[in-house]
Amino acid sequence: MTAAGYFGPFGGRFVAETLVPALEELDHARQELLPSPAFQAELHELLRSYVGRPTPLTEAKRLARRIDPDGGAIAELLLKREDLCHTGAHKINNALGQLLLAKAMGKTRIIAETGAGQHGVATATAAALLGLPCEVYQGALDMERQAPNVARMRLLGARVVPVESGSRTLKDAMNEALRDWVTNVRTTYYCVGSAAGPHPYPTLVAELQRIIGDEARAACATRGALPDAVIACVGGGSNAIGIFKAFEGDAGVSLYGVEAAGHGLDTDRHAATLSRGRVGVLHGAKTYVLCDEAGQVEEAHSVSAGLDYPGVGPEHARLRDTGRATYVSATDEEALAAAREVARSEGIVVALETAHAFAAIGAIARREAEARGRPSRILVCLSGRGDKDLDTITAYVGGK
Amino acid sequence: MMHRIDQRFVELRREGRKALCVYLCVGDPSLEASGFLALEAIDAGADILELGVPFSDPTADGPTLARAAQRAIAAGATLERVLEVAARVRARSEAPLVLFTYYNPVFVAGEAKVARLAREAGVDALLVVDLPPEEAGPLRACAAAEGLGVVPLVSPTSHAARIEAIRRASTPLDGAPRAFVYSISMTGVTGASPSDLAAAARDAEGMRRSFDRPVLVGFGIDGGASARLAAGQASGGADGVVVGTALARRIEQAASGDEQRRAVCSFVGELRRALDEPA
């Protein structure tokens, strides 16, 4: 048998047998229901009237000048404003799409895992809108550092289940969600939050998130030119894959993913799976994984709860190995400094995930400008707003 | 010559007995103790041992086995060290040994290397809980080259077409033993309470006809009575049962090494007697 859902050697479906029929059923729905005109019409109407799409491109002139004071590297810096989506992040595109699918499949209960809580909030929101009961697994540590999102999920009617095992973060929340799903698979829909997990999730999530890239590409085209470089942060990698999709075929557009380097790539406290991981199997997919030589998965670290994950979506693993995308990293310090910089120069408080993408702009712009012999046009996916991270950011920034 | 594991099923059938397969998380409480506990379980009446490789993210396991895995990892258990324990057990016993693991430790070490080490340690078959047959081709080939089987799993959610697909994809390769099929009694993780073990036994009977191989029922068996239910009637039902969590719980609760050995001995003995009682 040939296995479905591969991106080169990555991806696949490595799960307990109990889940295989549910994944087959979901893949069938993805291929039959998702593209149907009725489904697309309903989804796009919700994305327009409820989510607030299309989100705009904002030109960040002051930030561009501050990153590049002599104007030698950055000609244009454009921000794709997913923070302006209802619930404040790109996660809502995916949650609404998946829950519409779940409802059409006749599922009566929704579960999700969440790190920073943004996917949990998005899922709880979509579940409230569609009248479905929802439970969200979140690492106990993440519940502490993302208290506002825990409160939002509860207000939206979701039950937030603390996960005390392992590192008490996103990886463990995903383990617990999978255990719930194995137990309640006949009635329950598992809304995966990133372009990770067993087939068909990486493909499904990418299909639902590519609207970010499609809108950005169309808006760039009306401005007269495609960007030279597209930058997005990568934990599981859903906002990145969503924006990359639309530019993958444009050979002149460089794609950059920015991972969390935590305390530094040379420490054991980071979440830079593509930079420092090895090929392994985690949460149902073959991909790059932070694990030791015995195959035990290591704990990731990032100041951003949303990037604190030792795996990565399998499509990114292929983009890395084929060289179509380049993956760099930013440390906790660099991301926090970037968050402050964006706030001061553009009046936008970005999520700490997104701050990693901003932290890499300077180096990427210089690299692109050198390669092209002219200042470059940069597009950054501003994946979400930073209200949820205010405590962390202000604790760092303090009176600075 | 018939493979050791197939030979055991022939003997069991001839004797009209159900197989008792016992799962041990190797390394809990220590690698050395696991070797002793395995031999204790065989002496007390276990026919087959599943030697578990602890994994950091055991998504198919409930809290009891997840805790056992954590303790085992802390005690230094790795796939290679579990195989060293298997070799020590093999030196003292001819009981069939099944290496139970998640896929990542196998994949990272390399499938060919794991199959070779497993054969050298005297293991008879591999059971990889998160490796559906569509993904198992490379491992099955490596295992068969070393004369090892790969045990397929079937679940209550496996519909008829799926069971047929599993059957086709898991037909034993040349050189590999027939081994057995693992039938999961319920949708859930290890250690949960099963809904209907009598139904699981009936399903197992159908499965044996489909696969033409012995079928063991596992998940949710916590004592003699449930073992009998899951195994079904003397002439029909399943070919045997797999018990893991209930034993791990007794090992966890025992206060000393001696108590652990006594717990394994008495619990495996209880299961053995229940399975051997006339219908």
User: What does the alpha-carbon distance between residue B164 and residue B176 come to, in Å, rounded to a whole number?
Assistant: 20
Same-domain pairing of A197 and A233: no
Position A165 scores a pLDDT of 87
Same-domain check for residues A246 and A381: yes
| Shortest CA gap B75–chain A (Å) | 13
Does the beta-carbon distance from A166 to B56 stay under 8 Å?
A: yes
- Is pLDDT of B279 > 80? no
Predicted local confidence at residue A2, as pLDDT: 44
Cβ contact, residue pair B108, A286, below 8 Å: no
Q: Smallest Cβ distance to A17: which of B58, B155, B188?
A: B155
Tell me whether residues A20 and B131 touch, CB distance under 8 A: no
Q: What is the mean pLDDT of chain A?
A: 96
Look at residue A170 in the predicted model and tell me its pLDDT: 92
Q: List, for residues B88-117, the tens digit of each pLDDT value.
A: 999 999 999 999 999 999 999 999 999 999
Residue in A230, A226, A257 with CA at minimum distance from that of residue A368: A230
| Res. B193 pLDDT band, cuts 50 70 90 | confident
Q: Scan for tokens 């830079």, then name that residue.
A: A272
Domains of chain B plus CATH, in order, are: 18-276 (3.20.20.70)
What average pLDDT score do residues A65-92 get?
A: 96
Q: What is the pLDDT of residues B11-61, one digit of tens each?
A: 999 999 999 999 999 999 999 999 999 999 999 999 999 999 999 999 999
pLDDT category, A1, cuts 50, 70, 90? very low
Q: Is B57 helix (H, G, I), strand (E, B) or coil?
A: coil
* Catalytic residue (one of B28, B40, B47, B50): B50
Mean pLDDT of chain B: 96
Do the Cβ atoms of A14 and B159 come within 8 Å?
Answer: no
Q: Which of A181, A201, A221 is the last residue of a domain?
A: A201
The last residue of one of the domains, among A160, A176, A201, is A201
Whether residues A84 and A67 fall in one domain: yes
The whole domain housing A288 covers: 54-88+210-399
Q: Identify from A296, A297, A299, A309 which residue to disrupt to test chain B contact, counting B C-beta atoms within 10 A and taking the largest count.
A: A296
CB contact under 8 A, A296 and B135: no
Q: How many CB pairs under 8 A join A and B?
A: 126
CB-based contact A276:A290 (threshold 8 Å): yes
Pick among B108, B131, B171 to test the A interface (most A CBs inside 10 A): B108
Inside any domain, residue A2: no
Nearest to A297 among B57, B137, B154 (CB): B57
In whole angstroms, what is the distance from residue B274 CA to residue A332 CA?
59
- Residue among B101, B157, B162 with most chain A CBs within 10 A, to mutate: B157
Contacts of A165 (CB under 8 A, 6+ apart): A172, A175, A176, B66
**How many domains is chain A built from?**
2
Q: Chain B contact for A90, CB < 8 A? A: no
pLDDT tens-place string over residues A125-136: 999 999 999 999
Distance to chain A for B65, nearest Cα, Å? 13
Catalytic residue chosen out of the listed positions B40, B61, B124, B146: B61
Statement to judge: residues A18 and A159 lie in one domain: yes
Give the per-residue SS3 of B139-166.
HHHHHHHCCCEECCEECCCCCHHHHHHH
Cα–Cα distance between A258 and B104 in angstroms, integer?
Answer: 26
Residues A188 and A288 in one domain: no
Q: B202: which 2 tokens?
A: 């009936």
What CATH number corresponds to the domain at position A97?
Answer: 3.40.50.1100
* pTM reported for the whole predicted model: 0.96
